[in-house]
Amino acid sequence: MARSVKTSRKAVTTLVAGTLGLLMFFPVLWIVILSFKSEGDAIKAPLAVLFSTDWTTESYGAVQARSDYLKHFSNSVVISFGSTFLGLLVAIPAAWAMAFVPGKRTKDVLMWMLSTKMLPPVGVLVPIYLIFRDLGILDSRVGLVFVLMMINLPIIIWMLFTYFREIPGEILEAARMDGASLREEIIHVLTPMAIPGIASTVLLNIILAWNEAFWTLNLTSAKAAPLTAFIASYSSPEGLFYAKLSAASVMAIAPILILGWFSQKQLVRGLTFGAVK
């Protein structure tokens, strides 16, 4: 039972939590502000920046004009969506099998899949790099889609598994008794029932793939570079152009911030492999 709390106490809590929340959020807020300033204004003292009333969107145009932002954005979209959907195609049947036809070794298989996620990327950097070089898929979207699909596949399978497991097996048996084939059972009964779970799996994996910054930095140079790598190019002198760096950053994180806010709950389950719900 919720108990009523004194208004004064609630006010103090709100104030403290609000201040902390604002502090955590401030860097994001700050680049949003800077991105609408001219380069000259952007390096002024914070208060001067806040109280200047000159707003401009010139930085956004400049980022696109100078370094073809849209190309990198589309790379990010292709890589994160592509890897997620390919992963889903492989993962849905696998998760179905483990959730509804568990065998003696199902648990071992699941744990083994998880263990591949524990492999530190740097441990296999050299061979992957060389294999990609020899196949000619360094700096290609295809290569990155594959790598990101593989590193996220265990998470996708696990998330789907935990969602599928919550669907009562009797419903699938009912479909079987009602004359549905395995394909019809998955299409007409399982998938529609699992849509919320599948949606949050997709969401989380797009976020993870979008922000992945080891393989995307090491396997791309220019052509296939997604936003993570594009932003990294600002680490050198260009970083001194605060307004442009801000504009580029805002554009890189905005889509995922919005997606992320929708997926807070699922995030916990996905990232802890169901250990915390």
Partner 1 sequence: MATKASRTAARMMISPAVVLLLGWMLVPLSLTIYFSFLRYNLITPGTNPFVGWENYYWFLTDPSFKAAMINTLVLVGGVLLITVVGGILMALLLDQPMWGQGIIRIMVIAPFFVMPTVSGLIWKNMFMNPVNGIFGHIAQGLGVEPISFFSQIPLLSIIFIVSWQWLPFATLILLTALQSLDQEQLEAAEMDGASWISRFFYIMLPHLARSITVVILIQTIFLLSIFAEILVTTNGGPGTSTTNLTYLIYVASLLQFDVGMGSAGGVIAIILANIVAIFLMRMIGKNLDA
Partner 2 sequence: MGRIQLSQVSKVFGDVEVIPPLDLDIEDGEFMVFVGPSGCGKSTLLRLIAGLEDVTTGSIVIDGSDATTVPPAKRGLAMVFQSYALYPHMSVRKNIAFPMKMARMPQDEQVRRLEAAAQVLNLTEYLDRRPGQLSGGQRQRVAIGRAIVREPAAFLFDEPLSNLDAALRVGMRLEISELHKRLQTTMVYVTHDQVEAMTMADKIVVLHAGVIEQVGSPLELYRSPQNTFVAGFIGSPKMNFIEGPEAASHDAHTVGIRPEHIDVSSGSGTWTGTVGVSEHLGSDTFFHVTVDELSQLLTVRAGGEVDLHYGDTIHLTPNLDHLHRFDERGLRIS
**Residue that has been written with the tokens 């680490």 in this structure:** 235
Instruction: Among 44, 71, 165, 176, indicate the residue that binds partner 2 (CB under 8 A).
Output: 176
Residues 4-33 that bind partner 1 (CB under 8 A): 5, 10-11, 13-14, 16-18, 20-22, 24-25, 27-28, 30-31
8-state DSSP, 154: H
By CB under 8 A, residue 179 contacts partner 2: yes
Q: Which amino acid is at 102?
A: P
Contact in structure between 188 and 143 (CB atoms under 8 Å): no
Q: Count residues contacting partner 2 (CB under 8 A)?
A: 18
- In terms of phi and psi (left: phi > 0; alpha: psi -120 to 50; beta: otherwise), the region of 44 is beta
Instruction: Among 62, 78, 114, 180, indicate the residue that binds partner 1 (CB under 8 A).
Output: 114
8-state DSSP, 212: -
Measured torsion, CA atoms of residues 197, 94, 203, 115, in degrees rounded to the nearest 10: 120
272 binds, among partner 2, partner 1, none (CB under 5 to 8 A by kind): partner 1
By CB under 8 A, residue 91 contacts partner 1: yes
170 binds, among partner 2, partner 1, none (CB under 5 to 8 A by kind): partner 2
Site string for partner 1, 153-192 (x = CB under 8 A): xx--x------------------------x----------
Q: Count residues contacting partner 1 (CB under 8 A)?
A: 100
CA-only gyration radius of the chain, Å: 23
By CB under 8 A, residue 40 contacts partner 1: no
By CB under 8 A, residue 267 contacts partner 1: yes
3-state SS, residue 198: helix
Cβ contacts of 263 within 8 Å, gap of 6 or more: 200, 203, 204, 207
Residues 204-223 that bind partner 1 (CB under 8 A): 207, 210-211, 213-214, 217-218
